Amino acid sequence: MTTPDPIPFLDLKAQQARIAPELRRRLDAVLAHCQFVLGPEVAELEAALAGFCGAAHCVAVSSGTDALQIALMAEGIGPGDAVFLPAFTYTATAEVPLVLGATPVFVDVDPRTFQIDPAHLAQRIAAVRAAGRLRPRVLIGVDLFGQPADWPALAAIARREDLVTVDDLAQSFGCSLHGRMLGAAADATATSFFPSKPLGAYGDGGALFTESADRAALFRSLRTHGEGTTRYEVLRTGMNGRLDTLQAAVLLAKLAVFPEELAARERVAQVYDRHLGNLLEIPARVADSTSAWAIYSVLLPDAATRAHVQESLRAAGVPSAIYYPRPLHRQPAYRDAHDGTALPVSESISERILALPIHPDLSEHALSRICAAVQEALGR
Ligand SMILES: *Cc1c(COP(=O)(O)O)cnc(C)c1O
């Protein structure tokens, strides 16, 4: 028996073919003016992104990780500070507080939407206050897999507890909650343009959003070595955190088709919902929201079934991926920072979760093959 043609997990070549003329025009403009760092496309992109998500200010930076770091540096976060974040997320969310000498405090997630659990957050803040070793300072809420976290609940807790809110929107730029796009839900919002994110560059990139002109000015200073009003005045310790002009040009070309791509991702998700909803646990929709569908993850009953399904899909030429096989408090690098609190939902999900391909160029034919392969793997 021959193996069927493999379906790509992500198809950036198909997307490139769709946007080729605009991409070429944008890149040629940069090659003509040669302002490769903070050229005019960067400011154009910042205005376009802020307009797109309804934020007052946008500062383009070198990656999603650097965006998070700049957001925390702007608050002076360091040793002795507690930064609350979900245990079930990408590594960068926990890495940034640790790099600055602060302590990540891991919070469990909702078993159906996979988003940070506000009730558990409140418990964790109370426990940190009771222990008295760390100062609760920041909440990093993550919008996981394309869906928004429960920002009204998170913001209410943060207000009560006097925490600064940082929205890690790396996976979910373009999602909305209660009719508003995310970008202004927290004191600072960080997103990523890593190539596989819904809005991806051709290399690393990221952006910060804020409603505060003072914070925006601080972000701009921090991304260029803490510079003041003149180039060689250094006001604070910053970093080299700028977005390349070439990446801004790529992102401008992609932003032009981003709304239709979000709609195409939603159509893929609906096909999966319809065809797989009676076979396994499909991702629960956050109420009154739209998703950017960075990742479509299903839950299987246990680790053994997941391994079987993944192997069976592989044989059928259908790729799948596991985000994330280990919650962050179980990572060797972060274990010692964890206070030992049980995080049972994050642990259970990491053993059972499986992501199926989702992108705007997934053909009807590929989609049918994927659904059939999942049905076959589960013996239906
Ligand atoms: C991708 C990602 C980041 C980091 O973004 P980079 O641009 O890769 O640095 C941070 N947080 C989450 C949740 C992510 O998925």
The domain limits of the chain are 13-255, 258-377
CB of 247 sitting under 6 A from ligand 1: no
Residue reference for tokens 């819904």: 198
Q: Is the pLDDT of residue 186 over 80?
A: yes
* Dihedral angle over CA of 198, 202, 203, 209, nearest 10: -50
- If pLDDT is split at 50, 70 and 90, which confidence band does 230 have? confident
- For residues 197 and 92, the answer to whether their CB atoms sit within 8 Å is no
C-alpha–C-alpha distance, residues 284 and 289, integer Å: 11
Q: What pLDDT is recorded for position 182?
A: 98
Confidence category of residue 4, pLDDT binned at 50, 70, 90: confident
* Furthest CA-CA distance within the chain: 69
State if residue 72 touches ligand 1 by the CB under 6 angstroms criterion: no
Ligand 1 contact, 145 CB (< 6 A): no
Arithmetic mean of pLDDT over the chain: 97
- Residue 125 above 70 pLDDT? yes
Which pLDDT belongs to residue 2? 63
Cross-sheet strand order for the sheet of 180-181: 180-181, 176-177, 289-290
How does residue 279 score in pLDDT terms, banded at 50, 70 and 90?
A: very high
Here the tokens at position 301 are: 């009953």
- Please tell me the distance between residue 188's alpha carbon and the centre of ligand 1 in angstroms: 15
Mapped onto helix, strand or coil, the DSSP state of residue 310 is helix
Task: Give the architecture-level CATH label for domain 258-377.
Answer: Alpha-Beta Complex (3.90)
Atom from ligand 1 closest to the CA of residue 193: 7
Residue 192 CA, closest ligand 1 atom number: 7
Instruction: Grade residue 1 by pLDDT with cuts at 50, 70 and 90.
Output: low
Element (H, E) at 245: helix 245-255
pLDDT at 59: 98
Closest alpha carbon to 35 in 249, 256, 253: 249
pLDDT digits (tens, 9 = 90+) for 82-101: 999 999 999 999 999 999 99
Mean pLDDT across 354-360: 98
Q: Give the Å distance between the CA of 76 and the centre of ligand 1.
A: 21
CATH domain 13-255 topology = Aspartate Aminotransferase; domain 2 (3.40.640)
Give 205 Cα–ligand 1 centroid separation in angstroms: 10
Give dist(CA 281, CA 299) in Å, integer.
5
What pLDDT was estimated at residue 127? 98
What Rg do the C-alpha atoms of the chain give, in angstroms?
A: 21
> Is the minimum distance from the CB of 168 to ligand 1 under 6 angstroms?
yes
Q: What is the pLDDT of residues 150-175, one digit of tens each?
A: 999 999 999 999 999 999 999 999 99
Task: State the pLDDT at residue 380.
Answer: 73
Q: How far is CA 226 from the centre of its chain?
A: 26
pLDDT tens-place string over residues 326-351: 999 999 999 999 999 999 999 999 99
| Rounded percentage of the chain residues whose pLDDT exceeds 70 | 99
* Alpha carbons 221 and 219: distance in angstroms, whole number: 5
Q: What is the mean pLDDT of residues 176-197?
A: 98
